[in-house]
Amino acid sequence: MTPEIAYRPGQLSRRAFVGGSTAALAALLAACGTKGTARSSGPATTPDLSATEKLVKFSNWPQYIDVSDDDDGKRPTLDAFTKATGIAVDYTEDVNDNEEFFAKIRPAASNGQSIGRDLFVVSDWMSSRMMRQSWVTQFDHSKMPNVTANLLPQLRDVSFDPGRKYSLPWASGMTGIAYNKKLVGREIREVKDLFAPDLKGKVTMFSGMKETMPLLMLGLGIDIGTFTEADFNRALDVLKDQIAKGQIRAFTGNEYTSSLAKGQTAACFAWSGDVLQLALDDPDLEFVVPEAGAELWSDNCMMPAPVSHKANAEQLVDWYYRPEVAAALASWVQYIPPVEGAQDEMNKIDPDLAKNPLMFPDDATKKRLKVQRDLTDAEDLTFTAAFTAATET
């Protein structure tokens, strides 16, 4: 069955809620410096109540699911799931920031207690941290036929979770370059193009280490799936040099979209979903996947340990791996659906979106998309501190 479609272009980016690097560093210091955070005994277990309690408690980011155009609080794809399965979904938009959510669930999770949720969505690097903390439960792929059949090949194996045992992508996106064609006056194809003298003071990059450094490393020909500390420092030296030259106007969070839209920024590091939305109002804005590569990232569904409604949660995630459901969701959130077949279904909803390379990259683009390798807690702390020292001086 195909759920009712609620397509609304130009929605606020999910990544508008990502915090700055200073807050992230403080939270990371707290997480790494406190004993007893991880459970050495492995994930906690609890009886699965799915058979007797037809319920899933699902925490997600704001603006990350389709809603009814009538503004009546309905969520068509979730409502269709409940109608098809009889499983009610207690849906809460309380994941406003990865670090904030980590801190919110930490008291219970670190003690093996229920966090009051069966499913939640966090970014790749936070997924990795929660796995290291033993806070999450493994999915049973044998009960998830749509995931098995339809998860995009390039997302099936990632360094932090080979085989996607603990994390399944909810939506994906690209970190690349955006520029204003009118202001720049030429094509931009590589990171090094942002360092041209006539763009001095007109370039922005992200204030988060995990967002900016992978793209800089890719621009230097470094494989972000295997990079070393020496590779990181090489890219950081390039960044420091450009800062010293005054090339970079600012390091920003999601406010980069405002300065880009206003013409205050000529070129910048950007997220694909943002530029897709901005280009609806300004066709001079272009998103580029650099020839040397761009980062492919995902926000992932995870089940906590312990989880009270495991089978129901697995059934819900599997529902969103049906191509028609994935397309309905993507038509609203406008990020890359991690589901094969979603493009064909999108063509039935919105042919223009189905042809948009920011939502459905072609094969040549896919080859240039790279997933950043997992960082250890020590690397995360060291790299974030070095990046913060360089960008906040």
pLDDT digit string (tens) for 147-202? Answer: 999 999 989 988 889 999 999 999 999 999 999 999 999 999 999 999 999 999 99
Give residue 71's pLDDT band: very low, low, confident or very high (50, 70, 90). Answer: low
What confidence tens digit (pLDDT) does each residue in 132-145 have? 999 999 999 999 99
pLDDT in tens, 330-343: 999 889 999 999 99
CB 196 within 8 A of CB 179: no
Cα 164 from chain centroid (whole Å): 15
- pLDDT for the residue numbered 44: 57
Contact assessment for residue 23 and residue 208, using Cβ atoms and an 8 Å cutoff? no
Higher pLDDT among residues 91 and 12, named by residue:
91
User: Sorting pLDDT into bands at 50, 70 and 90, what band is 11?
Assistant: very low
**What average pLDDT does this structure show over 23-46?**
45
**By C-alpha distance, which of 171, 139, 163 is closest to 305?**
139
More confident residue, 82 or 68: 82
Nearest to 66, CA basis, from 339, 334, 278, 315? 334
- Pairwise CA distance, residues 293 & 222, whole Å: 10
* Digit-coded pLDDT (tens) for 190-241: 999 999 999 999 999 999 899 999 999 999 999 998 999 999 999 999 999 9
Q: Which of 76-80, 302-306, 355-359 has the lowest mean pLDDT?
A: 355-359
The pLDDT of residue 377: 86
Q: What is the pLDDT of residue 248?
A: 97
Q: Could you tell me which of 269, 175, 232, 241 has the C-alpha nearest to residue 387?
A: 232
Residue 31 bridge partners (DSSP): none
- The whole-angstrom separation of Cα 330 and Cα 311 is 25
Distance between CA atoms of residues 37 and 211, nearest Å: 26
The pLDDT of residue 72 is 72
pLDDT for 33: 40
Q: Are 56 and 87 in contact (CB under 8 A)?
A: yes
Separation CA 157–CA 343 (nearest Å): 22
Provide CB contacts within 8 A for 287, sequence distance 6+.
174, 176, 177, 178, 270, 272, 275, 276, 279, 358
State the chain's mean pLDDT as an integer.
88
Tell which residue, 284, 305, 260, 289, has the closest CA to residue 367.
289
Tell me how far apart the alpha carbons of residues 41 and 88 are, in angstroms, rounded to a whole number: 33
Average pLDDT for 34-60: 74
234-289 per-position pLDDT tens digit:
999 999 999 999 999 999 987 899 999 999 999 999 999 889 889 989 999 999 99
Would you say 54 and 88 are in contact if contact means Cβ atoms under 8 Å apart? yes
How far is residue 186 from each of residues 181, 193, 199, 267, measured CA to CA in Å? 7, 10, 12, 11
CA dist., res. 106 & res. 103, Å (int): 5
Q: pLDDT at position 63, please? A: 85
Which pLDDT belongs to residue 43? 52
For residues 349 and 174, the answer to whether their CB atoms sit within 8 Å is no
| Torsion angles phi and psi, residue 271, rounded to 5 | -100, 140
Work out the pLDDT band at 14, boundaries 50, 70, 90.
Answer: very low
With 0-12 / 13-18 / 19 or more C-beta atoms within 10 angstroms meaning exposed / middle / buried, residue 198 is exposed
